[in-house]
Amino acid sequence: MALRAALSNKCGVSSVAVMHMQNPPVNSLSLGFLTEFCIAVEKLEMDKSCRGLIVTSSQPKVFSAGLDIMDMYGKSPEHCAEFWRAVQEMWLKLYTSNMVTIAAINGSSPAGGCLMSLTCDYRIMADNPRYSIGLNETQLGIVAPFWFKDTMINTVGHRTTEMALELGLLYSSSDALKIGLVDQLVPEDQVLATATKTMTKWLAIPDHARQITKSMMRKPTIDKLTSNRETDIQFFVNFITKDSIQKSLGMYLGMLKKRKS
């Protein structure tokens, strides 16, 4: 099972869902995982009693390793297109959510894992110097798409994003806090409890006012993708299936394996 979702009513009368991502070993965002994730978020979105969603990991040391590289390596254009649509869908479901969304980042969160947490309203990370977070795509020889870039700009500003993306920077938890990539650091064993406490504060705001404000802030970024979805998919497929890009991915995969030996 890729997800463990539980609804609780710890925050007064409203329900808060806690989603524990469970896709061993590193919660990579594969096509299957993303499909299941999106269905789960959609169900919660339709459940009017559910006002908040906390996303966390049940894997030790890793929140999410980002997009599953195996879904982009040596795959047919049709598979790549289906995969990319699922990545877009995950971003759209979370970034447009009416629920209060909190990322309880209890481990490393590179690339797509960082993107997922950036879609949330608030980010709490485990205070552990071994954990890192950031959009490191250029290190793989690939380019973060415009909507990854826009989501980061909306969080930390233009200059910081420019440097972070060009260098493919992965930040330690304390550096991530300094640049505003995460909002709060807490000891590892308190990440989920702090997320629950923070949720209570956010849920004290009337939903309609908070939701309209959220939508006003995010709409231009969302519209940019929704009006260019098919072009974005085509661009991704053409880019990722290039021989040179496949070679870079292959080398990166090799490097990941070699680190272990």
Closest CB to ligand CO8 among residues 85, 210? 85
The CB density around residue 205, as the number of other CB atoms within 10 Å, is: 12
Among 17, 18, 21, 26, interactor with ligand CO8 by CB under 6 A = 26
Residue 255 makes contact with ligand CO8 by CB under 6 A:
no
Residue 89 makes contact with ligand CO8 by CB under 6 A:
no
Among 116, 70, 113, residue whose Cα is nearest residue 90: 116
How many residues sit close enough to ligand CO8 to count as binding (CB under 6 A)?
A: 27
User: Which tokens is 115 given?
Assistant: 């993107």
Pattern of binders to ligand CO8 over 92-111, x per CB under 6 A? ----------------x-xx
Among 70, 204, 217, 255, interactor with ligand CO8 by CB under 6 A = 70
> Using an 8 Å Cβ cutoff, are 137 and 239 in contact?
no
CA-atom Rg of the chain in angstroms: 18
Among 122, 87, 92, residue whose Cα is nearest residue 104: 122
Residue 28 makes contact with ligand CO8 by CB under 6 A:
yes
Residue 136 makes contact with ligand CO8 by CB under 6 A:
yes
Q: How far is CA 197 from the centre of its chain?
A: 21
Spatial separation of the C-alpha atoms in residues 215 and 237, rounded to whole Å: 30
Residues of this chain that interact with ligand CO8 (CB under 6 A) are 25-26, 28, 61-62, 65-70, 108, 110-112, 136-137, 140, 142-143, 145, 236, 239-240, 256-257, 260
